[in-house]
Amino acid sequence: MKTLSTPDYIVFLVYFLVVAGYGYWVYNRKKKEATSASHDYFLAEGSLTWWAIGASLIASNISAEQFIGMSGNGFKMGLAISTYEWMAAATLMIVAVFFIPVYLKNKIYTMPQFLNERYNSTVAMIMAVFWLLLYVIVNLTSILYLGALAISSISGLNLYVCMYALAIFAVIITLGGMKVIGFTDVIQVFFLILGGLVTTYLALDLVAKQFGSEGVVSGFKLMMEHSSDHFHMIFKKDDPNFPSLPGLTVLVGGMWIVNLNYWGCNQYITQRALGADLKTARGGILFAAFLKLLMPIIVVLPGIAAYVLNQKGYFTNNELMDASGEIVGDKAYPTLLNLLPVGFKGLSVAALTAAIVASLAGKANSIATIFTLDIYQKRIKPAATENELVTTGKMTVLIAMIIGCLISPMLGIDKKGGFEFIQEYTGFVSPGIFAMFILGFFWKKATSNAALFATVGGFTLSVIFKFLPKYVSLEWLQPLGFAFKNSEGIYEIPFLDRMGFVFVICAVMMYVISMIDNKNGVVPKGLEVDTKMFKPTNAFAVGALVIFGTLVALYSFFW
């Protein structure tokens, strides 16, 4: 039933009051401790603890695209979609050891600032404008619309009421700055995980009951027994899901670029750790990695449970179908939530709302940070006071959220797919950006001309690889596993493989362009790097070993 009862509303109200009340308390408690008004607002300078950083990383990362889109992929292809979460845990260890020390050593607070100090102001400004457009037009609108669509389908409330309510809630949190976002994200993650686990528990128990048993352990065993094809992490070339997750590419190819770019070169994410010292930042990232190991339990298993229930004939009212009668995997999670008992449904809606609001708040804060520190302060008003910068940041949050609410219904976001769509089209820019960052970190000879090629050339190459198959046959790549026949009979390159190819080309061309520039007397601006700062503490090393050991066990068992 698509409605919430009085107990559900009460549970949701408790969630809202706890988050809002705690955020207000944090704001009042921390505002007198700030040493720099702007850095405190945008970065929570010195305020966030390791557990707040870790929780904020997860709260900002998990949103409607995971709960709805990844659960839908769980329905469609099974546990294999978990590779985005589990590979992220490994990636976070690399970011903590090699990326964060470079940022902190060179006092980097924004990604455009890094590009300005490492390359030049032209590269930095191009990317600042690009990131603003990407964050506002693509990310903010997607989170707003998909989140509102999900909550509307569960509660029965008007879509636009849900959208504006989410926006207002996120603005309230964001206006308190990163310190409020960081600490309220701890509460958000608590509700996110608790509500998510409750949904998974009830879904597995429901599977068990359909087979005359009971309990989550029995439900999980029955799922593995009756949907064994949904419990493989690595697809073979003849698997229909191979184009989405092309075999070993998820372990040695494009999946690394997806994750390293997202977790290491993304203002939206790295901002959480840039206001802390190295030990605290690494501790927070390690905590986030452990939480990432849990995410498939919350966002993937419910999708597989819905698949088994559908195979069993449990859904009889076309709950999973669209208007044309096609089964839509993205409807799996909302459909399961509508089956929850009174009270539990409110808790699960609170979990979904927590994920959406935390992502909105984090994204809005990143938009404000980039515009204020990299555009307003650099080009519009260099002499702006600390208070003027904070005021500009708050106005940017409001304007960005209003734009998001106004344009998101016009983009047809709901018709373009969920999680996979976001990953593929973000991948048009990820390879070039990652090449620019990784060479900028660890190769002092990389020049600004090379960086410009990676920025523009990387995107251009991605477009070429996407549309090339329409004009040139790529059937010869099929035996190598780098091409598949789509519904139109055309051989395409899986998007993860495309990302890998584009990254390699960008890195090679950056090397060639840089060497030519070096011979012509161009002296690039290298960053300060001390190899000693890459050495982790013993405690971090033990935690990282546990993470990698767990991943080896998971991939070995579910290969």
- The domains of the chain are located at 49-409, 427-528
Q: Provide the CB-side half-sphere exposure for 517 (13 A, CA).
A: 21
- pLDDT tens profile 520-547: 988 887 777 777 888 889 999 999 999 9
For residues 335-360, give the mean pLDDT: 80
State the DSSP H helix or E strand holding residue 167, giving kind and residue range, or none if neither.
helix 159-174
For residues 348-353, give the mean pLDDT: 80
For residues 146-172, give the mean pLDDT: 85
Q: Closest Cα to residue 83, out of 196, 249, 203, 198?
A: 249
pLDDT band at 421 (very low <50, low <70, confident <90, very high): low
Q: Which of 195-199, 216-220, 421-425 has the highest mean pLDDT?
A: 216-220
pLDDT of residue 361: 82
- pLDDT tens profile 209-257: 888 888 889 989 999 998 888 999 988 877 777 777 777 878 888 889 8
Structure tokens at 353: 């709302």
DSSP one-letter code for 45: T
Residue 44 pLDDT more than 70? Answer: no
64-68, 282-286, 347-351: least confident range: 64-68
pTM: 0.83
Task: Give CA–CA dist 45/30, Å, rounded.
Answer: 11
Q: Residue 437 burial by CB count (10 A; 0-12/13-18/19+): exposed, middle or buried?
A: buried
308 vs 322: which has the higher pLDDT: 308
Residue 516 pLDDT more than 90? Answer: yes
**249 Cβ contact partners less than 8 Å away, ≥ 6 residues apart:** 255, 494, 496, 497, 500
pLDDT band at 35 (very low <50, low <70, confident <90, very high): very low
56-65, 106-115, 294-303: least confident range: 56-65
49-409 adopts what CATH topology?
Sodium/glucose cotransporter (1.20.1730)
Task: Give CA–CA dist 346/190, Å, rounded.
Answer: 15
Task: Provide Rg for the chain, Cα atoms.
Answer: 23
Dihedral angle of Cα 123, 128, 134, 137, to the nearest 10 degrees: -140
pLDDT of residue 322: 64
Residue 34 pLDDT more than 50? Answer: no
Task: Give CA–CA dist 37/27, Å, rounded.
Answer: 13
C-alpha distances out from residue 484 to 87, 180, 328, 481, Å: 24, 47, 23, 8
Task: Give CA–CA dist 426/416, Å, rounded.
Answer: 14
pLDDT of residue 517: 93
pLDDT of residue 333: 82
71-80, 298-307, 479-488: least confident range: 479-488
3-state SS class at 483: coil
User: The tokens 């409110």 sit on which residue?
Assistant: 346
pLDDT band at 82 (very low <50, low <70, confident <90, very high): very high
Query: Are 365 and 213 contacting, i.e. CB atoms less than 8 angstroms apart?
Result: no
Dihedral angle of Cα 408, 409, 415, 419, to the nearest 10 degrees: 30
Residue 45 pLDDT more than 60? Answer: no
Mean model confidence pLDDT for the chain: 82
45 vs 453: which has the higher pLDDT: 453
Determine how many CB atoms are found less than 10 A away from the CB of residue 164: 16
Residue 41 pLDDT more than 70? Answer: no
Residue 500 pLDDT more than 60? Answer: yes
Residue 386 pLDDT more than 90? Answer: no
For residues 179-208, give the mean pLDDT: 80
26 vs 91: which has the higher pLDDT: 91
